[in-house]
Amino acid sequence: MRHIRNPETFSDLTVVWYSSNYLDDRNPHFMNNTKEILRKNIADTKLISVSQKPVDFGENICVGDIGRSNRNLYWQILQGAKAAKTKYIATAEDDILYAPDNFAFRPKEGHIGYNMNKWSFFTWVYPLVFSWKRRIVINSMVAERDVFVKAMEARFEKHPDYLGEDYCSEPGRYDKYLGVPVVPIDEYYSAYPNLVYSHEDALGYVTRGPNKELGGMRCTELVPWGSCQDAMKIYDENYVAEKCETCGRYL
């Protein structure tokens, strides 16, 4: 794994890491790796973890065993944002690898920024491949703390169940439809990508399963994450790369 941009400490930023702790028992190898990589790539930037079980990871806020759901995911992020003391916050999900320069962006005043340079890695697809699809997602966001908190509180006030699983969305998406104040967004592309793992233990797999589609843009190497085989080793401690006997490609 190579770092093109050296990890940097941002005094104006708090990283809000959130987890249901579902992977703690299901795949501790993967959880340990994602946390170690995040901690390295944000240097001494302030870190708040919001979890359903106590964790020794930055300043921890344990919300208790409230269960996995889209609603609770957004609610946990809000608790971390409200506890932050810096002008800006950035989100970090427990099963994503974040490149150091993801955290360097600052949106315009009153806007919320979403990093569009994030590639997906489906652990159940063979041959293994990275793919890209243009999507605005809460897991790669940088925003002014106050702007984000105000936007999220408006959503929860209007929809106390947070939109029942049908309306869950990032601030800046579907605002008019939800009847909440419109928040402008800034899309940005970090120089090097975040890597989003789609795996059988993910919340998204529960609702969509293997029907999720690969993005149209695909590759087998990503800087700074290396090959698909390198990415698989981060996820599965027992993984052994195999080559196709016919074409010589890795599977």
Residue 242 lies in a domain: no
Task: Judge whether 3 lies within some domain.
Answer: no
Residue 106 CA to residue 57 CA, distance in Å, equals 25
Q: Is residue 60 part of a domain?
A: yes
Q: Determine the structural domain holding residue 83 and report its residue range.
A: 13-235
Q: Give residue-wise pLDDT tens across range 171-186.
A: 999 899 889 999 999 9
Does the residue 5 lie in any domain? no
Ranges of beta strands (E only) in 83-229 are 88-93, 96-97, 112-115, 118-122, 130-132, 141-144, 185-188, 194-198, 217-219, 221-222, 226-227
Q: How many domains does the chain have?
A: 1
Alpha-helical regions (H) of 84-227: 145-158, 175-178, 203-208
Structure tokens at 9: 């400490």
CATH of the domain at 116: 3.90.550
Whether residue 243 lies inside any domain: the answer is no
Q: Which of 66, 58, 55, 62 is nearest to 13 (CA)?
A: 58
Q: Does some domain include residue 6?
A: no
User: Tens of pLDDT along 41-72?
Assistant: 999 999 999 999 999 999 999 999 999 988 89
Tokens for 14?
A: 């708090």
| pLDDT at residue 2 tops 60 | no
Q: pTM for this one?
A: 0.92
99 lies in some domain: yes
User: Has residue 1 been placed in a domain?
Assistant: no
Considering the chain, what is the average pLDDT of its residues? 90
Residues of the chain above pLDDT 70, percent: 88
